[in-house]
Chains A and B, each alone.
Chain A
Amino acid sequence: MTDLADHFFRHEYGRLVAMLSRRIGMHYLEAVEDAVQFALAAAVETWPRVSVPDNPSAWLFRVAHNRVAGELRRSARRVELATLHGAEAEPDQPDQPHTFLAGDVRDDLLRMLFACCDDAIPAPSQLVVALKVLCGFDVREISERLFLSEANVYKRLGRARSRLREVEFELADLTSTELASRLPAVQSILYVLFTEGYLSSHADGAIRRELCDEAMRLSLELAEHPIGAVPETFALLALMHLHAARMPARQDGSGGLILLEEQDRALWDSREIQIGLEWLARSAEGETFSRYHAEAGIAAEHCLAPAFAETRWERIVECYALLEQLAPSGLHGLNRAVALAEWKGPRAGLALLDGLAPPSWLEGSYLWAAVLADLHRRAGNVGLAEQYRAIALAAAPSSAIRAALERRLRGP
């Protein structure tokens, strides 16, 4: 047996860093990361020559643990470690299955996820460090995925790590107040991670999908832990799966955007839709209605519509109105106007936009101009349509978006 699961090494990296830094101390995060790197390299070296061990995770844990214990023993921190860690590891200890109970690993992973979302770490650093320590991407891979320079990634990692070293807590010890303030931050980082993949203009579809898959993997860990098993998390998973369902139809082979109404609905992934709807049903248990519920509701309506023209636009308008209340943003108003125009005609959409006071970033964006161009064109206001079309095309941030706009905003 030599086959390993997809992303086995990356995921083991995240698991091992979380497990070891909990046992040895967050203070030694970097030594832990080095030891995990060493263990993975040892696996590459050894497994193909002999065979994959019966419990590869336990093998990696033992090698990484012995390595970091050895490194720390050799260093001047020997005394500290002995106090912190108790008994030292024997070099040829048998596997310790009790260390690998799924529940424990999940606990370790979530503890690290909560640590990465510490509010003393700036949000952009939270995302970068989560990709590093939980998802096992290296600096180059992160810079490629987030369109940041490697120097910038290093800087953000450094900031996050200096804070992480100070973090020592146990999930079970968090008070309900602490938990109530931290859980939304954790959900938010998972949402951002998903969005980074979903909205990415990366030409490589596999790379876009990978970030979404990571977000779904970690969200599932959260949903299956008592600490995160709340309706908001379920709704977050619902919206991720419902969006993921449409990914195969959303971009053409070369990274070009395909608009919702142009998409081949036969390409939508029915399995993902099914999973998304199941989470949506679970999210409806209880009284909570979060922004994730509203967004999942919108995504579900799109997934359930047999054709663009048969979309239940009134439901979508309603969800956007709720979303505006829960998470005020001019963008939601804009989206509501688009849905309203599909439901009641372009003039109704224009009237709604007239009543909004968009922030300047939105009013100057290609989205705002593109919606106005489209609605004016459909309402027969040729001059205004042309004017906004030119603004939208000039403000388009990427060639993929410009190409999509050109198709969508073509003359009457």
Chain B
Amino acid sequence: MPRYLCLQRSFGAGTEAAEKPSPAQMQAMYAKFNEWREKFQNNLVDLGGRLGAGRVALPEPRPDGPFVEVKELIGGYMIVSASSLDEAVRVAGECPGLMRPGSGVEVIEIHTPG
């Protein structure tokens, strides 16, 4: 089955100071995430994780270029397998951690030779 790279994208506006969830809400989030993971266990190849600090390696030294830092745009990644892009979007789109105000997910097919 084809594999898809899922990138969590934040849309800056509208996320301002989201309230901290309470412990009870966190437990509910935890339970929902687990439900989702069980439901799609056959699709989830790599649950990935949140992205931290990074650096760009270049073939030749250059002054700080106009590179937008990747982590400003992308919060995290994961890899799913699915029969189609539509199915991959459905899997990622039901993930409780990804779909919330100010956050969405970009799903990209990973081409592999053969």
Contact = CB atoms under 8 A, between A and B. Distances in A.
A363 B46 CA distance: 69
A141 B27 CA distance: 14
Interface string B22-66: 111011011001100100000000011110000000000000000
Contact of B23 (A2, A12, A45, A49): A12
Q: Which of A10, A12, A44 has the most CB of B within 10 A?
A: A44
A137 interface: yes
Range class of the A interface residue count: 20 to 34
A274 B22 CA distance: 34
Contact of A43 (B30, B37, B49): B30
Contacts of B23: 9-10, 12-13, 37, 40, 136, 138
A333 B41 CA distance: 64
A140 interface: yes
Contacts of B33: 44, 48
B111 interface: no
Interface in A20-60: 37, 40-41, 43-45, 47-49
A169 interface: no
A147 interface: no
Interface in A116-172: 136-138, 140-141
Nearest to A3: B34
Interface in B63-78: none
Contacts of A40: 23, 26
Contacts of B47: 48-49
Given A45-B50, A49-B47, A49-B49, A136 B24 contact: yes
B30 A44 contact: yes
Q: Which of A9, A37, A47, A140 has the most CB of B within 10 A?
A: A9
B50 A140 contact: no
A4 interface: yes
Nearest to A13: B23
Contacts of A9: 23-24, 26-27, 30
A10 B27 contact: yes
B24 A137 contact: yes
Most chain A beta-carbon contacts within 10 A, residue among B20, B27, B33, B48: B27
A271 interface: no
A47 B49 CA distance: 11
Contacts of A45: 50
B24 A141 contact: yes
B27 A8 contact: yes
A7 interface: yes
A48 B37 contact: yes
A44 B29 contact: yes
Contact of B27 (A2, A4, A49): A4
A150 to B, nearest CB: 11
Contact of A7 (B24, B37, B48): B24
A37 B47 CA distance: 23
A127 to B, nearest CB: 18
Interface string A359-396: 00000000000000000000000000000000000000
Contact of A48 (B20, B22, B30, B48): B30
Contacts of B37: 48
Nearest to A14: B23
Given A45-B50, A48-B37, A4 B24 contact: no
Nearest to A12: B23
Contacts of A7: 24, 27
A47 B26 CA distance: 12
Given A48-B37, A49-B47, A141 B22 contact: yes
Nearest to A38: B20
Interface of A: 2, 4, 7-10, 12-13, 37, 40-41, 43-45, 47-49, 136-138, 140-141
Interface of B: 20-24, 26-27, 29-30, 33-34, 37, 47-50
Given A137-B24, A138-B22, 8 more contacts: A4-B30, A40-B23, A43-B26, A44-B33, A48-B33, A49-B49, A136-B23, A137-B22
6 interchain residue pairs of minimum CB distance: A138-B22, A9-B23, A9-B27, A49-B47, A136-B23, A10-B23
11 contacts: A4-B27, A9-B24, A10-B23, A40-B23, A41-B21, A43-B26, A44-B29, A48-B47, A136-B24, A138-B23, A141-B24
